[in-house]
Structure 1
Amino acid sequence: MYKPISFFIGFRYLWNSHLPKFKKFITILSILGISISTSSLIIILSIINGSENNFKKNILTFIPHLIITNQNKYINKNKFPKDILQSQEIEKFSTFISKEVIVKNKNNVAMAEIIDFDPNNYDNVKKYSTNDVLDKLKSGENNIIIGKELAKKIHVNIGDKITLIVLSDKKNYFSGKIFNECVFKIINTFSTQNEVDYYQILMNKEDVLKFLNYSKNYVTGWRFWLKNPLDFNINELKKISTQLVVLDWKLQKGEFFKAIKIEKYMMLFLFFLILFISILNIFITLTVYIIEKKNAIAILKTQGLLNWKIMLIFIIIGSSTAIIGSFFGTAISIALIIQNDLLKFFIKIFFHEINITIIIKPFQIILINLISILLTIITIVYPTLKAIRLQPVKLLSNE
């Protein structure tokens, strides 16, 4: 006698030399379907993980995750809401002055945004890849550093002078001056490989205050960088004060991030459909087994085989298919990700000139495999319950 008998019978029904070719084909098809769906899910999730990481690294690094200001975007820095520092999500913060301006160079005009540079907050601009920025952006010299793409757009080079125009505040309307304009010298450019290269201009803080006619203690607001900006709940901070305005990065980049998430869910849905079809295939195969082998099941019951052992036979058949499929799917996906040149080749067949970053998260791989195996086991519960409800007396009475 083979022990444990449930495993012996289960593996024998799963695959043996006497199994009909059609059943072998169905078994292979089920394993193949689970392998494809599992490997596809792992690869897609890894690519999306890379996209989210690039989004966080390349975009959210150069824009504040959170801004606190007032309706006029002109506030005394002594009114800083200290209660916000109780949040564990705050990584760093600083005051800032920012304003949209018109950039004019001969016949070239463009919109841009000036950002103040404070030597005390050098960390905020160290990733802009500028050389000697502390020495060159001196107060009172009207020097600026602009994005490389903005420089190309308005056809200027280092050493050229451009005119910046900004609308005056209402307090200056009585003087008849509707806008302020001033000539600044470009002393350097920065390149971040990010969209800020197209519109940002760095200027010394004292020069910004003078250009915008700001009082000494007044700023646009406070900018914050968070530890986990993708999952931060802004509603908690909106309760700080009704007089303050709390803005987060989603106002600027929310639609792009939503598009990534929608794409993620759509791809997961499509490949879960493949997984569902494969599991349905296993369900149909087991149902056919039970119909064909009902007399054998009745004989086993008359020999004293317990119901739970009969259930275990069919669970072994179904779960073995899922485990084998998940194993091959995981192995294929990891092999393709490690040899990412091959994966990039396949991707570039459909998408030309695309750079992808792939990040594997072991937790996701384990979760995908567990879900596929558990779904298979849940699916085969019904046919196994039907098998143990067979009445040996009725089935064997005509034998």
Structure 2
Amino acid sequence: MYHPLSVFIGLRYLRGRSGDKFGRFVSYMSTAGITIGVMALVTVLSVMNGFEGQLKHRILGVLPQAVISGDAELAPDVNTIANWNNVTGTAPIVSTDAVVQSPVSIAAGRLLGVEPNSPEPIREFMVRGSFEMLKPGAYHLVLGRKIARDLDVSVGDKVRVMITSASQFTPVGRIPSQRNFTVAGIYDTATDVDGQLMYANLNDVARLMRLPRSQPADLRLFLEDPFDVPTIKQIAETMGYEWSDWRELRGELFQAVKMEKNMMGLMLSLIIMVAAFNIISALIMVVMEKQAEVAILKTQGMRHKSIVALFVVQGASSGVIGAMLGGLLGTALAMNINEIMHLFNLSLLGNGIALPVVVKTEQVLSVVVGAIVLSLLATLFPSFKAASVRPAEALRYE
């Protein structure tokens, strides 16, 4: 005899009789619904992970992720800060809002004063010129492609940089601190950062800002996980440092991306919930059809919990099969979505740009396990309903 008996009978009920075509159709549709729901959820989440990763790399990888500053008496201690958890590196930096003027146009952005030999992620996105040309006293400037296009300038052209926060009084009124710079390079991150950040040598920017020589430069932190800035901020503030991070410039963007990702996951989860309700419908029909057989099993000594397990096995099998199949198909679709779209000559982003895809194993497993748990919960009511059948009443007219 096959053991356990409830699993044997449950799997046999799952196949159904040859004459029960409608019951099998509902069961198959339940499995297909869960498969499609899990597959869509895995694919969409993988694409959203890709977009989030691209934004994180192109924006948070370029923006100063965190900056701490102090005065002459409390200068940031590089050796101490470099040993903080999640901090992978440090570099001196000064920054200010600036206005850039060319012979044909004017633009505004954030001017960063950096050391050309320090680690600078923007080097990865340079398309013209060289970042190493930002030597002290040369007054060279690196612009984003958007600012360069708005100003109609290229490498070698002259622009005027003005800092209103360092203005001074003159006989003709208050005049901002200004200086002619030579465009030494252009970078392109393919984000709106290209229209905001400008780079120059740290000493040149400090002179333009009229900073006293005794004032130390701010310290830029490179973080292993930029989303963990609240923990480091608390440490920095307890030590008396002033703190600023990427959330002041881009916090709302990543909050919106996270919310959109959660909403997409919620909407696609409804597909799985609908399929789970189909399992309830299919099981209720099976319970009504099998009342006499359940009564016979009870008269032969089958216990209450075994009857429940019998129908749980039948109903959950659809969920398990659908969830595992959906997880495999979703992973395969996500990893090959660009090839499939190219096959049908489709491009969601235009200009042949591929969709960024990041498949996270733990995320796929959580979706599959969640679908299985949901299908198990959907089987409980019909299963307990079947176990409550009274043999005398069910066999009265047999």
| Secondary structure, counterpart of 2:118 in structure 1 | helix
Q: 1:123 to 1:174 in 2, by over 3 A?
A: same
Residue 60 of structure 2 corresponds to which residue in structure 1?
A: 60
Give 1:297 shift.
0.5
Deviating 4+ runs (over 6 angstroms): none
Asked whether the 8 Å contact 2:92–2:115 carries over to 1, the reply is no
What amino acid is aligned across from residue 366 of structure 1 in structure 2? L
> 2:101 is matched with which residue: 99, 104, 111?
104
1:26 aligns with 2:19: no
Matched ranges for 1:207-218 at <5 A? 207-218=204-215
Give 1:350 shift.
6.5
When the two chains are superposed, the root-mean-square deviation of aligned CA atoms in Å is 2.8
1:388 aligns with 2:391: no
Q: 1:283 to 1:168 in 2, by over 3 A?
A: closer
Give 1:36 shift.
0.6
Give 1:243 shift.
6.1
Q: TM-score scaled to structure 1, two decimals?
A: 0.88
Give 1:347 shift.
11
Report the Cα distance in structure 2 between the residues aligned to 1:210 and 1:318, rounded to whole angstroms.
74
> 2:247 is matched with which residue: 243, 246, 250?
250
Report the Cα distance in structure 2 between the residues aligned to 1:163 and 1:35, rounded to whole angstroms.
61
Residue 92 of structure 1 corresponds to which residue in structure 2?
A: 89
Q: 1:320 to 1:360 in 2, by over 3 A?
A: same
1:190 aligns with 2:187: yes
| Secondary structure, counterpart of 1:79 in structure 2 | coil
Residues 158-190 of structure 1: per-residue CA shift (max 9 Å, x gap) = 2221111112537x4488653122112223323
Q: 1:16 to 1:284 in 2, by over 3 A?
A: closer
1:356 aligns with 2:351: no
Matched ranges for 1:176-187 at <5 A? 177-187=174-184
1:303 aligns with 2:304: no
Residue 274 of structure 1 corresponds to which residue in structure 2?
A: 271
1:79 aligns with 2:78: no
1:338 aligns with 2:332: no
| Secondary structure, counterpart of 2:67 in structure 1 | strand
Tell me which moved more, 368-377 or 87-96: 87-96
Q: 1:109 to 1:349 in 2, by over 3 A?
A: closer
Residue 131 of structure 2 corresponds to which residue in structure 1?
A: 133
Report the Cα distance in structure 1 between the residues aligned to 2:221 and 2:61, rounded to whole angstroms.
11
Asked whether the 8 Å contact 1:143–1:187 carries over to 2, the reply is yes
Residues 352-387 of structure 1: per-residue CA shift (max 9 Å, x gap) = 556421111111111111111111112211221222
Residue 375 of structure 1 corresponds to which residue in structure 2?
A: 374
Give 1:19 shift.
4.1
What amino acid is aligned across from residue 196 of structure 1 in structure 2? V
Report the Cα distance in structure 2 between the residues aligned to 1:139 and 1:2, rounded to whole angstroms.
84
Residue 319 of structure 2 corresponds to which residue in structure 1?
A: 322
Asked whether the 8 Å contact 1:68–1:247 carries over to 2, the reply is yes
Residue 201 of structure 1 corresponds to which residue in structure 2?
A: 198
What amino acid is aligned across from residue 373 of structure 2 in structure 1? L
Give 1:41 shift.
0.9
Q: TM-score scaled to structure 2, two decimals?
A: 0.88
Report the Cα distance in structure 2 between the residues aligned to 1:291 and 1:311, rounded to whole angstroms.
14
Give 1:337 shift.
2.3
Count residues with an aligned counterpart. Answer: 393
Residue 36 of structure 1 corresponds to which residue in structure 2?
A: 36
Q: 1:310 to 1:232 in 2, by over 3 A?
A: farther
Tell me which moved more, 240-249 or 8-17: 240-249
Asked whether the 8 Å contact 1:84–1:240 carries over to 2, the reply is no
Q: 1:2 to 1:200 in 2, by over 3 A?
A: closer
Percent identity for Structure 1 against Structure 2:
26
Asked whether the 8 Å contact 1:91–1:225 carries over to 2, the reply is yes
What amino acid is aligned across from residue 202 of structure 1 in structure 2? Y
Give 1:315 shift.
1.2
Gaps of 5+ in 2: none
Q: 1:7 to 1:179 in 2, by over 3 A?
A: same
Give 1:43 shift.
0.4
Asked whether the 8 Å contact 2:65–2:220 carries over to 1, the reply is yes
Asked whether the 8 Å contact 2:61–2:121 carries over to 1, the reply is no
> 1:149 is matched with which residue: 146, 149, 166?
146
Tell me which moved more, 354-363 or 369-378: 354-363
Give 1:203 shift.
1.6
Report the Cα distance in structure 1 between the residues aligned to 2:25 and 2:397, rounded to whole angstroms.
33
